[in-house]
Amino acid sequence: MEFHHVPVMLRECMENLNIDPSGVYADGTLGGAGHSSEICRRLNQDGMLIGIDRDRDALQAAEGRLQEFSCQKIFVQSNYSDIKDILKDRNLPPLNGALLDLGVSSFQLDEPERGFSYMHDAPLDMRMNQQDNFSAWDVVNTYSEKELKQVISKYGEERWAARIAQFIVRARAEHPVESTGELVDIIKRAIPAASRREGPHPAKRTFQAIRIEVNDELGQLKRAVDAFCDVLAPGGRLAIITFHSLEDRIVKQAFQKRANPDQGILAGLPPELAGDAVKQADIRRITKKPITPSDEELEQNPRSRSAKLRVIEKL
């Protein structure tokens, strides 16, 4: 099984992580180890990579791919949002750097049976961790029409969410929706022809929404940004690549909050009363605006087109 992932903004990530050869680095979304290979290339025998992924296949493939490097390596099947427990359980030190690449790996998209892609007919799955019980089948076949509409509207930013939800409920009343192909057909019937002719594939937003719901991607991300900031050593850096506006907003706001703690509630309090309650900034933003892929990269890897990279440093 070839588990390959074209690493997005690889040069920009490496430059901004500012890697110390003997430091400890975590890749919270190990995938095909594209970014991790470059991190390991820069580490010496004292340096360490902690590779985290929910997907067991990804971990096994990455382990093989990273064998050639001399640094210490630890592989963990877990959610990246559990970084505090991962370090604590293994008695590991604070991190000198960490990377999160939030895109679905090319492998997951290109393996039809995983059910991530609207381009192949496959069982409705979309689980990043195949040991999880909850899948896209459950969302499509058990959520109420109102819940479906909310998921597709909120996570897919799909203007036809209400119609799509209505059509799904109508179709499954006859028999359960079992495959991605069936779901694509339902979505195409729900979206008026004029709207289908413009913009991306008509199923793209709905598939994104269901995938986010199945894997609790935004909930994980909210928990993870603060957790990773907490476990960085002073001077340590966190680089996060997002692929749509919902993710980018979460990262941007979390970074802003820690770089400029809100002291509004303390407005007007004399200093002696404010005391320790004034929260100090504990990070600084390395990137005020997100870094985006170069024209050259966009040409070579069209999947990178919506990527944004934001980086902070622990004070």
Every domain of the chain with CATH number 1.10.150.170 lies at 132-215
In this prediction, residue 262 has a pLDDT band, given cuts at 50, 70 and 90, of low
pLDDT digits (tens, 9 = 90+) for 188-211: 999 999 999 888 899 999 999 999
Rounded (10°) angle between helices 161-174 and 180-190 = 130
pLDDT digits (tens, 9 = 90+) for 80-126: 999 999 999 999 999 999 999 997 776 677 788 999 999 999 999 99
Indicate if the pLDDT at residue 270 is higher than 80.
no
Mean pLDDT of 42-62: 95
Every domain of the chain with CATH number 3.40.50.150 lies at 10-101+217-314
What pLDDT was estimated at residue 38?
Answer: 98
Fold of 10-101+217-314: Rossmann fold (3.40.50)
pTM: 0.90
For 132-215, CATH gives: 1.10.150.170
